[in-house]
Amino acid sequence: MPGRWLVFSAAVFLSASAAAAEEYRFDVEAFEKKPFELNGYAELRAERSWLDRDAALYQLNFFDQEAHSALDRMTGALELSGLYRRGIATVQATVHGEGARDELGSEGETRLYEGYLTLEPATGTRVEAGKRVLRWGKGYAWNPVGFVERPKDPNDPELSREGFVMLGGSYTRSLDGALKTVTFTPLLVPTTGHLNEGFGSGEHANAAARLSLLYRDTDIDFLVLGAGARSARYGLDFARNLTTNFEIHGEWARITDATKPMLSASGAVTTQTADATSYLLGVRHLSVNDATTILEYYRNGTGYSEAEMQDFFRFGHTAYDTFLQTGTDTALQRARDLLEASYGRPTPMQRYLYLRVSQKEPFDILYFNPAVASIVNLDDHSYSLAPELLYTGVTNLDLRLRWFLLHGNWLTDFGEKQNAQRLELRVRYYF
Amino acid sequence: MRRPPCAFLLLVLFLAPSAYALDGDELLRRVDRNLNPESYEAYRKLINIEPDGRRKEYVLYTVKKGRDKLIALFLDPPSEKGRATLRLGDNMWLYIPGVGKPLRITSLQSVVGGVFNNADILNLDYSVEYRVEKAAEEPADYTLELKARTGAVAYDRLNMRVDRATLTPTEIEAYAASGLLIKTLHFKDIKDFGGIKRPSVIETDSPLYKGYKSVMLYAKIKARVFPDEVFTLDYLPRAGELR
């Protein structure tokens, strides 16, 4: 009898163990490091833009198109990232392809965002060559010290961007004492007629460097870009946790001989050259209810004053009226060129405030994160407001719904943008 | 000089383990060392199980050095792959490949959605983050009441039940400063990881997420000492190369 019980108990134990093993399986060998890796995402984005036909930017962008009060746009994107490692060498590349269609037509392009070789002879010592995305600065929405990168869109700060071809390296040392880490990153961003066109014109080596420190509990960076295709500039940034749920960060940049195209109300175009100072101060706070707040103040030293921007908008409206009356578009084309060069930046003026509040999983709905972001122009008091719903409950699938609402009076930054509202649904699948 | 009687020596020997067992701080340090070497690498799988049985799984590679240097790198699923968190004491940074640079995060911030938070993913030794307020012994277990040393941890108090035979936890109740029970961790299935015998499964349930369960599975826990330069912002995007 005891023998039967023993057999029965063993059977129960074994089946329970088998069930447990089946229930929680961890094939760790599948995650061993491999020489080759490939991953990426495919994305579909559906947008509806409600156009403001009285706005200067609508008139400049659509004067030669059939009048529309709304535009529906569908975009498909594919981003592939690959990596190959052998010994001390690693080759990485990211390719981004995108195609879009709306009532006005279709467009598409594929670009190499990154493609570079890394050699790491020792931990903390690295040499890199190729096309590389560098992100300098501590700011979330803006980076005044982002000297060697393409401009960030504060409406979507986490969007991937294309890099520049460069030769660089980094040397890191960890230390005992108040100064805990030192990293030095020198680099060259060469420009020729065909190489790094977006960085600037002329044939230059464009030397830059960053010195990063962790001093006590504060991150500090000193950054410099020598004169070349861009004017010389230098700056610093910092970030620190003041308490366990409150972080502060900031950036300061001095740009020598910053050039700014100017359009007067009469239509005269001049280029203003002067040294400029830009800076950013920001905080990040996490509440006991898991609400994260990011607040940043941005002073854009190369931005336009309220009067300068009003001159541009006024000229745009006048040029549009002239076009309607006479059919002559010379003035409109001139304004459109300036729009692309400088006035059309997402935040072209001097003082802005960025606020983003996101709530993690309200009402205990797992993987659901609503947020609202706002950019306020402190010079003319116009603003954008963007409520957002993000759901990540299905493995590898992100669903994001955003609604941009722009508000501002006549001749104000957000009041003269081409959209009054924009609704965007993004479905992204990672693989 | 008179020799102590044998009965007295036997009494001392009998009482010694009890006296040791009640040295809560030493006991907690032993528990820490039985769970992990001070410097190590390990693989973990996190599973969130919803009331309807739906699962979401994450795989992490973790490296730790000394008392307070730690990196946790997500290897799976692809939506999280490459996401890495660095902890140096109370300082924490999060690197997201799309963002392209490590950003400072508050230490209580959640790295991924779901029941897990940083305290589960970036936990240091218990004896580093908690001090023992009360230690007691029962026939099969020791019980430890722990209080957070700083406000930088997610759980203000822990009630830990420690198996007397293996000196590893069997159950931990985690409480907020308000006294609210946030979650209970159940340690199961002791395995030998090449000399480290410890529970390989931690099941978590929470009264805040009724019906939900989360599970952490351990694999390949190995003593390994990394250079200090690994635990820096510059190296964080390359943490995957450590494997």
Q: DSSP assignment of A78-117, as one string?
A: EEEEEEEEETTEEEEEEEEEEEEEETTEEEEEEEEEEEEE
Instruction: Give the residue-averaged pLDDT of B120-126.
Output: 83
Confidence of residue A158 (pLDDT cuts 50, 70, 90): confident
Residue whose C-alpha is closest to residue B110's, from A287, A386, A239, A398 = A287
pLDDT at B16 over 80: no
Please return the burial class of B56, using the count of CB atoms within 10 Å of its CB with bins 0-12, 13-18 and 19+.
Answer: buried
A vs B: CB pairs below 8 A: 156
* Domain containing residue A187: CATH number: 2.40.160.10
What DSSP designation does B239 have?
G
From the list A123, A395, A431, the residue facing B230 with the nearest CB is A123
Number of residues written out for chain B: 243
From the list B47, B78, B89, the residue facing A430 with the nearest CB is B78
Return the SS3 of B195.
coil
Among B41, B106, B203, most A C-beta atoms within 10 A, so best to mutate, is B106
The answer to whether residues B135 and B24 touch, using CB atoms and an 8 Å cutoff, is yes
The answer to whether residue B211 is domain-embedded is yes
The answer to whether residue B5 is domain-embedded is no
Number of domains in chain A: 1
pLDDT of the residue at B72: 95
Number of residues written out for chain A: 431
Spell out which residues of chain B touch residue A136, defining contact as CB-CB under 8 Å.
101
Q: Which domain holds residue B121?
A: 24-242
Q: Within 10 Å of residue A286's Cβ, how many Cβ atoms? A: 21
Inter-chain CB proximity B90 and A217 less than 8 Å? yes
pLDDT digits (tens, 9 = 90+) for A304-359: 999 999 999 999 999 999 999 999 899 999 898 898 889 999 999 999 999 999 99
The answer to whether residue A9 is domain-embedded is no
From the list A33, A134, A396, the residue facing B79 with the nearest CB is A396
Inter-chain CB proximity B232 and A174 less than 8 Å? yes
Spell out which residues of chain B touch residue A134, defining contact as CB-CB under 8 Å.
100
Inter-chain CB proximity A243 and B61 less than 8 Å? no
Inter-chain CB proximity B110 and A290 less than 8 Å? yes
- Residues of chain A with pLDDT > 90: what percent? 81
The answer to whether residues B158 and B126 touch, using CB atoms and an 8 Å cutoff, is yes
pLDDT at B44 over 70: yes
The answer to whether residue B61 is domain-embedded is yes
Spell out which residues of chain A touch residue B79, defining contact as CB-CB under 8 Å.
41, 392, 395-398, 430
pLDDT digits (tens, 9 = 90+) for A259-283: 999 988 778 889 999 999 999 999 9
What DSSP designation does B40 have?
E
The answer to whether residue A136 is domain-embedded is yes
CB proximity under 8 Å: B 156-185 to A: none
Helix %, strand %, coil % for chain B, to 5? 20, 45, 40
Number of domains in chain B: 1
pLDDT at A157 over 70: yes
User: What's the rounded Cα separation, in Å, for the pair B56 and B83?
Assistant: 16
Backbone angles phi, psi at A363, to 5 degrees: 55, 30
Return the SS3 of B230.
helix
> In Å, how far are A157, A168, A291, A359, A373 from A356, measured between CA atoms?
11, 34, 10, 10, 4
User: What's the rounded Cα separation, in Å, for the pair B9 and B20?
Assistant: 17
Inter-chain CB proximity B104 and A240 less than 8 Å? yes
Distance of alpha carbon A359 from the chain centroid: 21
The answer to whether residue A3 is domain-embedded is no
From the list A28, A245, A246, the residue facing B219 with the nearest CB is A28
Q: Which residue of A has its CA nearest to B227?
A: A123
The answer to whether residue B13 is domain-embedded is no
CB of B151 less than 8 A from some CB of A: yes
The answer to whether residue A25 is domain-embedded is no
User: What's the rounded Cα separation, in Å, for the pair A292 and A390?
Assistant: 14
pLDDT digits (tens, 9 = 90+) for B213-240: 889 999 999 999 999 999 999 999 999 9
The answer to whether residue A131 is domain-embedded is yes
CA distance B112 to chain A (A): 9
Residue with tokens 């410099």: A224
Q: Which amino acid is at A93?
A: A
Inter-chain CB proximity A24 and B106 less than 8 Å? no
The answer to whether residue A10 is domain-embedded is no
Inter-chain CB proximity B45 and A26 less than 8 Å? yes
Return the SS3 of A346.
coil
* Domain containing residue B55: CATH number: 2.50.20.10
Tell me the range of A23-32, B15-24, B37-46, B91-100 where mean pLDDT is highest.
Answer: B37-46
The answer to whether residues B20 and B28 touch, using CB atoms and an 8 Å cutoff, is no
Q: Which long-range contacts (CB under 8 A, 24 or more apart) does B33-37 make?
A: B34/B166, B34/B167, B34/B168, B34/B196, B34/B197, B34/B198, B35/B168, B35/B169, B35/B196, B35/B198, B36/B64, B36/B125, B36/B196, B36/B198, B36/B221, B37/B196, B37/B221, B37/B223
Return the SS3 of A14.
helix
Compute the C-alpha angle A409/A414/A420, nearest 5°.
Answer: 90
Among B54, B58, B75, B109, most A C-beta atoms within 10 A, so best to mutate, is B109
What region, left, alpha or beta, does residue A350 occupy, with left being phi > 0 and alpha being psi -120 to 50 degrees?
Answer: alpha
From the list A118, A135, A172, the residue facing B101 with the nearest CB is A135
pLDDT at A18 over 50: no
Among A28, A118, A161, A237, most B C-beta atoms within 10 A, so best to mutate, is A28
pLDDT at B22 over 60: yes
Among A25, A32, A123, A356, most B C-beta atoms within 10 A, so best to mutate, is A123
Q: Which long-range contacts (CB under 8 A, 24 or more apart) does B50-57 make?
A: B50/A366, B50/B211, B50/B212, B51/B210, B51/B211, B51/B212, B56/A367, B56/A393, B56/A395, B56/B114, B57/A395
The answer to whether residue A14 is domain-embedded is no
User: What's the rounded Cα separation, in Å, for the pair A280 and A141?
Assistant: 10
From the list A174, A292, A392, the residue facing B113 with the nearest CB is A392
Spell out which residues of chain A touch residue B189, defining contact as CB-CB under 8 Å.
20
Inter-chain CB proximity A367 and B108 less than 8 Å? no
User: What's the rounded Cα separation, in Å, for the pair B193 and B196?
Assistant: 5
User: What's the rounded Cα separation, in Å, for the pair A230 and A294?
Assistant: 31
Instruction: Give the residue-averaged pLDDT of A238-242.
Output: 95
CB of B243 less than 8 A from some CB of A: yes
Spell out which residues of chain A touch residue B47, defining contact as CB-CB under 8 Å.
24
Peptide bond into B77 cis (omega under 30): yes
Q: Which domain holds residue A241?
A: 34-395+402-430
The answer to whether residue B124 is domain-embedded is yes
User: What's the rounded Cα separation, in Å, for the pair A86 and A71?
Assistant: 49
A97 forms bridges with which residues in the sheet?
Answer: A78, A110
Among A13, A24, A29, A287, most B C-beta atoms within 10 A, so best to mutate, is A24
- For chain B, the average pLDDT equals 86
Residue B118 tokens, joined: 């940083």
- Residues of chain B with pLDDT > 70: what percent? 86
Residue whose C-alpha is closest to residue B136's, from B112, B118, B160 = B160
The answer to whether residue B6 is domain-embedded is no
Q: Which amino acid is at B43?
A: Y
Residue whose C-alpha is closest to residue A90's, from A124, A135, A129, A32 = A129
Inter-chain CB proximity A138 and B103 less than 8 Å? yes
